[in-house]
Amino acid sequence: MSATVVETVPAFVPLQLRSGFGPVYRQVSTAAPRECRPDEIPIIDIGTIRDGPEARQKLAVEIKKAAEEVGFFYISNHGIDQGIIDNAQKAAWNFFRQPVEEKAKISRSRSRFYNGFTERGTVHVSPTETIDNKEGFSWRYDPKYDPEGKDLTAVPEEVQAWIRGEDFVWEGTEHIPDFKKDTLTYWGACLTLARLLVKVFAVCQGLPETHFDSITTYPGADGVYNYYPGLTPEQASKDGPIDVGLGSHTDLQCFTLLWQDHVGGLQVLNTEGQWIKATPVPGTFVVNIGDFLMRMSNDKFKSTVHRVYNRSTEERLSMPFFFGFNFNEKCSVLPTCTDENNPPKYEPISCGEWCARRFQQQGYHAGDKIELGPASATVELTVKA
């Protein structure tokens, strides 16, 4: 009798992720990414977010559930004008459509703080996946453009030391009509919405909604345009392995507002280690929790792993906005997230320090100069758990 040879395929494989404290690992299913069910990444209508504290209190119930269980949700009725989004999208395409030599004039290698253009093939976010098949344009918080209208002579010195905006990105895009105006209008709208959402997140943590107001006066507020090339017809006909668009990672700061176009490709790692697709939902932003807020919540909120594969022959565009606390502000685990059986797992650290640590691990770009931040802000980086 002849024995049947059964080839065993590992159901789970390790995935290496970068963190500010070195690599971390997850077990990930080898099954193909599947569509998500509506309860897996919920769509939350935030149409009442501008209606005052009581309305935000109500919104917090659904948002808390999503932040704790999935770390990802869509927001509808977010109040950001479609015209503002359309103009930003146009600006992004006008930028990426330029010859690479033109874009390279504002290369990120010129930046002290990760502003500017990242060329295809120069970023490798996940060590267990390929080099990222995308281009990017990044700009960071600058009080000059804050929609709250800041008195630039009154920015505290310790805040100023952590301001990460750089003018060369705007100087090198002056020739693109309305690029700066439309980009910063979009960024300003995201920032205004993020300042409202952070009130809801405060309520989610059992805190007064104004709790984070004083540490979001000069916040982490980083904008990015991501461009993912489409597949060639040959690649599309083969259905074989392709390069990742953006490797598996978690976001760094408190939360991200992500606008994505209709093409699709964003995947989210669920609690069972299965990739599920965060399919584009017209009229929404995706919101996801970042590592810093997870840390502040003593891991109650989930910073969820995600990545992008563009398997379409169409090019894809996304416009994330990363929101965090004032970079100079040292933050402890929130007292409402601990008790005697659940002591703080982490030491206080500032969001700026936290991000700088992670950027340092990112192996981002051959020529990048890394600045960890003002010496005065350097803290003892020990993790308890």
Ligand X SMILES: O=C(O)CCC(=O)C(=O)O
> What x-and-dash track marks residues 82-121 binding ligand X by CB under 6 A?
----------------------------------------
* AA letter at 108: R
Least Cβ distance, residue 308 to ligand X (angstroms): 5
Q: Which of 60, 224, 331, 355 binds ligand X (CB under 6 A)?
A: 224
Q: Which of 133, 248, 260, 298 binds ligand X (CB under 6 A)?
A: 260
Are 274 and 31 within 8 A, CB to CB? Answer: yes
Contact positions with ligand X (CB under 6 A) in 310-339 = 318, 320
Q: Which does 318 bind (CB under 5 to 8 A by kind): Fe ion, ligand X, none?
A: ligand X
**Packing angle between helix 82-96 and helix 179-204, nearest 10 degrees?**
130
Least Cβ distance, residue 306 to Fe ion (angstroms): 6
Site size for Fe ion (CB under 5 A): 1
> Which structure tokens are listed for 299?
């891991």
Q: How far is CA 285 from the centre of its chain?
A: 12
Are 302 and 69 within 8 A, CB to CB? Answer: yes
Contact positions with Fe ion (CB under 5 A) in 236-295 = 251
Q: Which does 107 bind (CB under 5 to 8 A by kind): ligand X, Fe ion, none?
A: none
Q: How far is CA 217 from the centre of its chain?
A: 20
DSSP assignment of 196-243 equals HHHHHHHHHTTS-TTTTGGGSSS-EEEEEEEEEPPPPHHHHHHT----
Q: Of 59 and 293, which CB lies nearer to Fe ion in the complex structure?
A: 293
Distance CA 294, CA 196 (A): 19
> Number of C-alpha atoms within 13 angstroms, CB side, residue 183?
25
Contact positions with ligand X (CB under 6 A) in 263-292 = 266
Size of the chain, expressed as the number of residues it contains: 385
Least Cβ distance, residue 191 to ligand X (angstroms): 17
Residues engaged in binding ligand X (CB under 6 A): 224, 226, 246, 251, 258, 260, 266, 306, 308, 318, 320
